[in-house]
Structure 1
Amino acid sequence: MADESHLRQQVVEAADRLFYAHGVQAVGMDAVRAEAKVSLKRLYSLFAAKDDLVIEVLRFRSRQWDSGIASTAEAARTPRDKLLAVYDFLGLWFEQDGFRGCAFINSFGELGGVSPRVAEVVRRQKADFQRYVADLVAQTGAPPSLAPQLAILAEGAQTTAAISGDSTAAADARAAAETLIDAALGARPAR
């Protein structure tokens, strides 16, 4: 069983690299098989359909996202700083070689209209992120209406950075987030 789990992870990571670099629809199962170094028969025994593999890749990405945000927020002392750490995480991510935007947004754009299962996984990840932000907003004492504003800044920064190729979208979103947080808390902006 451990070997099967390891092999599944190997296939998921190979598919993730290919899907993220080239798009889900442009990558066939044979390309995944070659990248993962498994037989096509074995690949299909692990994932009966491509949608099953896409969903597992998105779950893998979700764990990476959650881990990355948690790791970046670890040093933050206050809920406000944890909110701003989201944008710090984005800034680090946008600087990585091969950054192509949000895998969830990309997958939804490609498959959301034809694969309800993929659309549901994407919606769940976005809802989880919004809940994370809402929890931190509640901890600051700011009104709940701040949470979707901050979440949409993060989503917009991802799309802007992917399209423009300019990682400063994270810093711009962070500055806007600071302004929104300070206004919501009735504080004067930090200088």
Structure 2
Amino acid sequence: MGELNLVESPRAPHKKFGLPLPISVVSLKHYTTMSIWTPAGEHTPEPESGSPNQSGLDPSASPGGFDEEPMTEAEMAEMREMLAEVVATPVVAFLAQHAAQIHELALVHLSTASERGQVAISQAELAIDALGGIVESLGDRLGAASVPLREALAQVRVAFVQIAGEVEAQSAADAENG
């Protein structure tokens, strides 16, 4: 397989979506075809005519789907400055922020459970499990954020059990009446 190429995108997603981080785009052009080993040697299957490549990527598109306009020197300086800020920020700060956002995501889905039913419950459960994975596996390595994150995890789990029970009871009542 080809080597992984990191390409600085001239129109990086952080500018479009207001993200605080510079994002490099990974060129997957070398990963769009795979060879298969057979006793007769390597074999690269030919794509079916008229079908998109297996990766779903347009091989003629630029990496990441961004226009290839060169970055100005000011934009490059801004990217370097943002990267320096990221490097200077302890990883635990990013992890705590992401955990807090996952907690909020779980709450959003739980708050829509009366309208969306089991779909909202399963989405909230996934977010809660992800939050639990972060909080429980990292524990005290999360520093000062570990205690509030443990408390938030415990509270959202209690809310999940209560709301999931209400949704289940409503579904049972609807099935009985319907």
Length-normalised TM-score, structure 1: 0.37
Q: Which has the higher contact order (CA 8 A, sep 6+)?
A: 1
Return the structure number with greater helix share: 1
Indicate the structure (1 or 2) with the bigger Cα radius of gyration.
2
